[in-house]
Amino acid sequence: MKKHNNKFTGKKDGGYGKFKKSSGYDNSRKSSGGPKKELKYVAIENMTLGPDSVIIGGIVERIVQTGGPTIFDVSDGTGTMPLKGFVSPGARAFPEIKENDAVRAIVKVVEFNGEIEGEIVSIKRLTDEDKNTLIKTISDIQRKRAKVEEIDFLIKSDILDNLKERFVKAAGEIRLAIIQNRPIIIRHHNDTDGYSAGFALERAILPLIEKQHNSLKASWEYYMRSPSTAPFYELSDSIRDTASSLRNVAKFSNKMPLIIILDNGSSSQDLMAIKQGKIHGMEFIVVDHHYFDEDVISDEVLVHINPFLVGEDGARFSAGMLCAELARLVNNSVANINQIPALAGLADRIDLNNKSAVDDYVKIAEKEGYSRDLLSNISTVIDYVSSRIRFMEVREYIEVVFGEPRNKQKELVDLLAPYIKKLDAKALEMGRANAVVKKVGKTNLQLVDIDETFPGFDFYPKPGRSIGIIHDDVQKTKKLTSVISIGLMRTAMTIRATDEANFSVHKLIEFIEKKLPNAFVDGGGHKNAGSINFVPNKQKEVLKLVEEFIKNG
């Protein structure tokens, strides 16, 4: 049974001991022509193949009638195991046993399709009194197994230290959800930082799910990761997650999921989607590093992790960096994530504000065989792939991109990175040919009309990446330091700024809201990088206010 590397632990006998005679069970069985043989209670996590029948006790979480046997999924707090009852093909075995009943059964442990399950010899429903005792015992076991084994962070950091209590609580809630057989849905932003955050937690979570259910297939039923294009958890995504989860509850007797929002989640724009999910029994954890005006999220979620919550700057620690550390607390034995903080930090330009942390993570990545150039190329591939797959999970493909296996990762990166860089170079030439640079106060404003400069549908790179490339280029080629680059679209603009420009996306939004409320601006991001949306007929007025803001800045 111990097929997976994890840190879930429990008592050897699950804490139940022998069955009571009052429960209708005799712990001994008479073998053919011989004396009675004492049967042993075995916790699910300790089940092994063998000739002897064993006793199992737990809660029936789900009953599935197949064309052959009836399947009872039983959980005892140490794990979940399918028990098969058979009377005739397609006939309901043990009809007196219902979902949520507490049972004790004598089973023969067998293997089917490479997984261990129990063939029911006999099964009995417990009394209400025994059920209550069992539920308390299971709850105690689950809480004990969910307890986080604290380990040192990968690097020394005041930001991590200040967030440690939140890390430990989040890790405990994730572990508990797995132990309680709750599905987990990860929602992350669809850039390198978001994918890094999602993949890091995925590597920690999947082995624990597989161990919990003694099945490699369980990770497809109890886990999903989905990228989000918007820089927040959209209400439409929340409704889709809720609707599919409610369907699984009705059809498969699943529980409502734990939703983990990564590289998004901290803003007021996320609030409605979170509240909508909570109405239906969903619970939420948020790991983000983006700025918010007011914390309206913490009271609505199990745990909220964001550097801004502890007086730090989210531009100094990305979501991928945070989630790599969180993943190590969720599963101390998690593999293939030590390179992720460096990958995410470099991709999100954290080195501009927290060079020492990124350098420390890069040293760790280099020990795993990842140079800065390789990390940069992987990030380039992730950005391109994310623009092609959009909302798809493509779990196996993403595993290759992140180095599972490493030889395929190398082949893929060697193939795609040069091709993508040519696309970037083409976009840069388009930008250079059409960008307008002018002096606004003491700052150089570079303006690029996205709709007039680049081809439309499906063009790569996306506007944000295009403006980032053009923004970096103008600093090098024209030796400028105080620069703000704006990619202008009909209903939005994407912005990049240098520290010397003394600029703030958040303050700009506040300024426009005050000066031109009927533009209905919204947006967000970081201090020097973000986006703003507005109604189309106010584009020129919004741009005029942007120049006024820069001039006064």
Residue 137 lies in a domain: yes
Q: Please say if the pLDDT value at position 382 is more than 80.
A: yes
What average pLDDT does the segment 381-403 reach? 95
- The predicted pLDDT at position 6 comes to 44
Residue 175 lies in a domain: yes
Regarding whether 322 and 202 lie in a shared domain, the answer is yes
Tell me: do 180 and 289 sit in the same domain.
Answer: yes
- pLDDT at residue 35 greater than cutoff 70: no
pLDDT value, residue 501: 96
231 and 126: one domain?
Answer: no
Does residue 215 belong to any structural domain of this protein?
A: yes
Which conformational region is residue 14 in: left (phi greater than 0), alpha (psi within -120 to 50 degrees), or beta?
A: left
Q: Is 138 part of any domain?
A: yes
In a domain, 385, yes or no: no
- My answer on whether 193 and 321 are in the same domain is yes
- Tens of pLDDT, residue by residue over 295-321, are 999 999 999 999 999 999 999 999 999
DSSP 16-55: --SPPGGGT--SEEEPTTS-EEE--B--GGG----SS-EE
- Residue after which a domain boundary falls, among 337, 358, 392: 337
Residues 193 and 266 in one domain: yes
Question: What Cα–Cα distance (Å) separates residue 390 from each residue in 37, 105, 230, 273, 308?
Answer: 60, 47, 11, 20, 29
Report the CATH number at residue 213: 3.90.1640.30
The total of structural domains in the chain comes to: 3
Average pLDDT over residues 211-219: 91
According to the model, what pLDDT value does residue 34 have? Answer: 53
439, 523: one domain: yes
Instruction: Give a yes or no: residue 136 inside a domain.
Output: yes
Q: Is the pLDDT of residue 18 over 90?
A: no
Answer yes or no: is pLDDT of 12 > 60: no
**Looking at the structure, do residues 287 and 140 belong to the same domain, yes or no?**
no
Per-residue pLDDT at 28 exceeds 60 = no
Statement to judge: residues 47 and 27 lie in one domain: yes
Q: How far apart are the first and last CA of the chain?
A: 64
Q: What is the mean pLDDT of residues 117-134?
A: 97
CA-nearest of 192, 203, 190, 271 to 231 is 190
Domain end: 312, 337, 362, which one? 337
Same domain for 189 and 63: no
pLDDT at 33 over 60: no
pLDDT for the residue numbered 55: 97
How wide is the angle at C-alpha 455 spanned by C-alphas 450 and 459, nearest 5°? 95
Residue 32 has pLDDT above 50, yes or no: no
| CATH number, domain with residue 74 | 2.40.50.140
Is the pLDDT confidence value at 485 over 80?
Answer: yes
Q: Are residues 243 and 297 in the same domain?
A: yes
What's residue 457's pLDDT?
Answer: 80
pLDDT for residue 19 is more than 60 = no
* Angstrom distance (rounded) from CA 81 to CA 94: 17
Average confidence score pLDDT of the chain: 93
Query: What confidence score (pLDDT) does residue 214 get?
Result: 86
pLDDT in tens, 512-540: 999 999 999 998 888 999 999 999 999 99
Mean pLDDT of 351-369: 98
Where residue 546 sits, what CATH number does that domain have?
Answer: 3.10.310.40
What is the per-residue pLDDT for 327? Answer: 99
Paired with 29 in beta bridges are: 37
- Is residue 128 located within the same domain as residue 164? no
pLDDT at 472 over 90: yes
Q: Report if pTM > 0.85.
A: yes
Confidence check: pLDDT of 410 > 90: yes
Quote the pLDDT of residue 2. 40
Last residue of a domain, one of 129, 144, 159: 144
* Cα 77 from Cα 57, distance rounded (Å): 10
Q: Is residue 423 part of a domain?
A: no
- Better pLDDT: 37 or 304: 304
Q: Is residue 409 situated within a structural domain?
A: no
Domain of 531, in residue numbers: 435-552
Please tell me whether residues 140 and 153 are part of one structural domain: no
Q: Quick one: pLDDT at residue 316? A: 97
